[in-house]
Structure 1
Amino acid sequence: MLRANGEDAAHSLSEGEKTFITFLYFFYLIIGAQDPSGITSNRVIVFDDPISSLDSDILYIVSSLIKGVMEEARDENSQIKQVFVLTRNVYFHNELASA
């Protein structure tokens, strides 16, 4: 993938971009399988400061995705039994607390 200036994005990722890509990878792994029928064990999910180095637009996306995980954990038939979110960012905490 190329940036607008023609530079290869793979060799010029910012810390925030790396953090977001890592978060998305972890978020995908929460499912545990490509097919929901492949999930066979209960899960406790821990997000450890997932918004470090992210701008406010990405912070909103991350908080929305985590809210979805929290909502799924509320379903008694879900494989997700608990969700922990560790953060030092008050704005992010307030965004999640409004779930």
Structure 2
Amino acid sequence: MEIVFFFILDVVITGVFLWAAGKVTTVQVGYKEGVICVGASSLLALIPGIGWILSIIALFYLLKDFTGADVWPDLILLVLVTKLLSFIAFVALAGL
């Protein structure tokens, strides 16, 4: 049950930051596409050890497929900002 909670929390937090980073980088990410990208990324993040890198790669490739945006600077910045802010939010929540 704890894994389901962390999965849902990861989807919500990463989704919010993906939306915010999309506004900053002017990459148009639709709601349905964003949910698919973040859901797949969060699911891969649950894999012990290499899950975090698989999560970043999956988010990058799914966003590239759905948005058709330029790789640099749009997608790389979008993924890095989203994942960095998501990580900071999780560390802050773990400290509570």
State TM-score, norm by structure 2: 0.34
Larger Rg, first or second structure (1 or 2): 1
State TM-score, norm by structure 1: 0.33
Q: Larger strand proportion, structure 1 or 2? A: 1
Taking CA–CA contacts closer than 8 Å with sequence separation of 6 or more, which of the two structures ends up with the larger relative contact order? 2
Q: Larger helix proportion, structure 1 or 2? A: 2
